Amino acid sequence: MENLLKLCLFLLCFETALTVQCILCKSYKNRECVDGIQTCTTQPDEMCMIRRTWYAFEIENLQSAESGCMKSCKLDEETSGDLTIHTHCCIDEDFCNDINLPIAMF
């Protein structure tokens, strides 16, 4: 019975170690979360994500952004007309998808 309890505690710690806290915000305006910042905890196969949109060549002029936990997140950058949409995925530390962190370009 004691070994079973130790195994359960080990598995609980192991699962907790694989999760990351992410910032959850459906919409930013002027670099502030419109509805207030919330958090989400990654589940298996999820990562923290932040997607930012700005006019081409004007990174400092952020038009919109969203962040949260995302399954199958893929680092991506697309240009559509004058807009650039940049998706950053991370799981290296809690709140790695903070809007105030620098944009990791590729």
Instruction: Determine, yes or no, domain membership for 103.
Output: no
pLDDT at site 17: 54
Q: What is the CATH number of the domain that holds 76?
A: 2.10.60
DSSP β-bridge partners for residue 89: 49
Instruction: Determine, yes or no, domain membership for 30.
Output: yes
Instruction: Give the structural domain span for 37.
Output: 2-90
Instruction: Determine, yes or no, domain membership for 58.
Output: yes
Instruction: Determine, yes or no, domain membership for 97.
Output: no
57-67 confidence digits (pLDDT tens): 776 788 899 99
Distance of CA 29 to the CA centre of its chain: 17
Instruction: Determine, yes or no, domain membership for 11.
Output: yes
71-92 confidence digits (pLDDT tens): 999 999 999 888 999 999 999 9
Instruction: Determine, yes or no, domain membership for 98.
Output: no
22-34 confidence digits (pLDDT tens): 999 999 988 889 9
Instruction: Determine, yes or no, domain membership for 68.
Output: yes
Phi, psi of 52 (to 5 degrees): -115, 145
Q: What gap in Å lies between CA 35 and CA 58, rounded to an integer?
A: 25
Specify the number of domains making up the chain: 1
Instruction: Determine, yes or no, domain membership for 38.
Output: yes
